[in-house]
Amino acid sequence: MTILCVRFQLPPMYEAALPGLLGLLEEFTPVVQALPPDGALADLRGAERYFGRTALELASVIRVRALALHGVDCVIGAGPGPMLARMALRDARPGLTRAVAEDEVREFLVDKPVVALPGVGTRTARTLCEYGLDTLGRVAAAPLSTLQRLVGARAGRELHEKANGVDRGRVVPNAVSRSLATERPFTRDELDPGRHRRALLSAAGELGARLRALDKVCRSLTLTVRYADIPHSRLRSSGGTPIATTRTRTLAEPTAHSAALTEAAYGLYEALGLQRARVRAIALRAEGLDPAERASHQLTFDPVDEKVRRLEEVADRARAKFGPRAVMPGSLAA
C-alpha cells in the first residue's frame, strides 16, 4: 500500500489550481501522475524510507499541507497498486483515508460491483452483468477462457487479473492528457442548422485556441450530438441516458488551426443529415494530441491559407492580451 490516490475537493471551475497541488505532492515523491481535473496518483515507495513514515502517515501530512497551504481538502485512498488505490478512494472520506493492505485485497474486492473496477466501463459492466457476473468475486471465480469469450482475449485476461487483485499498473509521471473536449448545450430542443453550425464554429474555435496555447496539434476530431430523445426501453425506469450520435474523422494532417478544425466539424455535422432531430448539445473533442513541433504542414501556393494562419496568430495574441472574447468570428458576435 504504497500508492496513494488523492482527490482534491476543488470547487468547480478551479482546475487551474491543480498544478499547484501537484507540486505539493511532488515534494514527497517525483512519481506523481495527474488525474485531471482534480486528482492525482502518487507512488510513495521511495518516500516511505526517505521520510521514515508509512504511506498512511504521509497521507495525513499531505492532507494537512493541502489545507494549510491551499485551503483545499482532499480525500485519499491507498493501496498496493494504482488500481487498488483508486478503488480504495471510493470508500474514503475527508479525514478517513481508506487503505487496502496487500493481504486483504481479496476480501476488499469480492463484493464490489464490477463497475467499480477502473477500466470497466458501463458497456463491459452490462455485458458481465448479463451473464450473472455482477460482483468481482464472481468474475474472479469464472474461468479465464469464459471471460475472454465474453469481453475479448486481452480485456478478458486483464479483467481476470484485476478481479483477482493482481494490479500490474504503475504510476506514470507527467502523463499528459491525450484529448481536449468542449461542449455547447442548448437551452431548448434546437433544430435550426444555422444555430448548430454556430455552436460548431465556436466549439472548434475554442479547441483550436486551447491546442495552440498548449503547443499541441490533434490528429482527429470527434463530434458528439446529444438529443433530447431517450431510448424507449429505458423510459420505464427512472431517467435514462439520452441518445447521442458520435462520429470521428481523422484530419488530413495534424493541426491546431481553427479554420481546419471548423471545416472538419462542419463535414462531420453535414454527414449526419439531421432534420427533425431534437438536439440538446453539441460536443467536439480533439484527439491524438501531439507536440506542435512534430506536426508537418503541407504548404500550398494559395496565399489565403498562409494569411489565415498569420491572422490567427495575431488574433491569439490579441486574445491573450484582452481576453478570450476580444477577437471572434462575426457570426458568433451577434
Residues interacting with other proteins, by CB under 8 A?
130-133, 138, 142-143, 145-146, 149-150, 188-189, 191-192, 225, 227-230, 235, 238-240, 243, 245, 270-278
Cβ 100 vs Cβ 78: under 8 Å? yes
User: Which is nearer to other proteins, 51 or 227 (by Cβ)?
Assistant: 227
Which C-beta is closer to other proteins: that of 271 or that of 318? 271
Of 170, 286, 290, whose CA–CA distance to 224 is shortest?
Answer: 286
C-alpha cell belonging to residue 107: 476480501
CA gap 249, 12 in Å, rounded: 31
The least distance separating other proteins from the CB of residue 111, rounded to whole angstroms, comes to 14
Q: How far is the CB of 232 from other proteins (least distance, A)?
A: 10
For residue 7, the minimal CB distance to other proteins (Å) is 29
Q: Which is nearer to other proteins, 220 or 245 (CB)?
A: 245
Minimum Å gap between C-beta 130 and other proteins is 7
List of E strands, 169-278: 179-190, 216-227, 244-255
Q: The C-alpha cell of 255 is what? A: 493541426
Between 66 and 225, CB nearer to other proteins: 225
Beta strands in 39-110 (DSSP E): 39-43, 74-79, 98-99
Residue 139 · residue 128 · CB < 8 Å: yes
SS3 237: coil
Is the Cβ of residue 54 or residue 224 nearer to other proteins in the bound state?
Answer: 224
Question: Which string of b and e fits 134-151 if b means at least 16 CB within 10 Å?
Answer: ebbbbbbebeeeebbebb
Q: How far is the CB of 192 from other proteins (least distance, A)?
A: 7
User: C-beta of 156: minimal distance to other proteins in Å?
Assistant: 12
CA distances from 299 to 76, 304, 305, 307, 322 (A): 51, 11, 9, 12, 31
Radius of gyration of the chain (CA): 23
Question: What DSSP character marks residue 262?
Answer: H
By beta-carbon proximity to other proteins, the closer residue of 213 and 271 is 271
Minimum CB–partner distance for residue 250 and other proteins (Å): 20
User: Which CB sits closer to other proteins, 116 or 144?
Assistant: 144
Main-chain dihedrals φ then ψ at residue 156, nearest 5 degrees:
-65, -45
